[in-house]
A and B are shown apart, each in its own frame.
Chain A
């Protein structure tokens, strides 16, 4: 079946450090891939997305590249800020699932310290 695997957290970084959160997927067909972010006490917001192989999604300094050969969609940011502290979810949606549902990874909590 379709699934998403994320690196376990929490990830603790100092401000201005480089961030990588690993995400790999298993899917039938060609999924679209997403990163969502959940700030404390809030709902999920789309951070970025990519719909086909080699696409790069980017937003707010975050980037992720759809790598079909490694079935990965790792999230990166060159210099994190305290305000980036949140839970990050990698997710996919596929036509084989009828495009009816997002399948999420378990989430990775990021804590950034001054």
Chain B
């Protein structure tokens, strides 16, 4: 059984388009995250949600809008895609906020042409 799943796994699109990435966790966790991994493998937090409430927005452009319809889902919508948005996006979840293990999804590789 997949703990944290993301769709799609690959996303190729043109500049200016709007796209969404979906994330679901079946672990019963309260907290979910979005991370961005750039071409040099550097990972950085984008957003964190706890019980459907946004608790971290790490200076991400407002073209990125996360939405959490319930505790098990955290989707990422990106408007007006730019070349610099090309990266791998990882969703993660943890039991709650704190020094707990974060479980990562398989990632979505976004390529903007």
Contacts and interface: CB of A to CB of B under 8 A. Distances in A.
Interface of A: 32, 34, 36, 38, 42-46, 49, 51, 87, 89, 93, 98-104, 106-107, 109
A93 B99 contact: yes
B97 A106 contact: no
Interface stretch (B13-21, B42-50, B68-76, B77-85): B42-50
Chain B contact-residue range equals 20 to 34
Determine chain A's interface SS by DSSP, over half rule.
strand
Contact of B90 (A43, A51, A87, A107): A43
A101 B49 CA distance: 10
Given A42-B106, A43-B107, A45-B104, A99 B99 contact: yes
Nearest to B50: A100
A21 B50 CA distance: 33
B90 A100 contact: no
B35 to A, nearest CB: 8
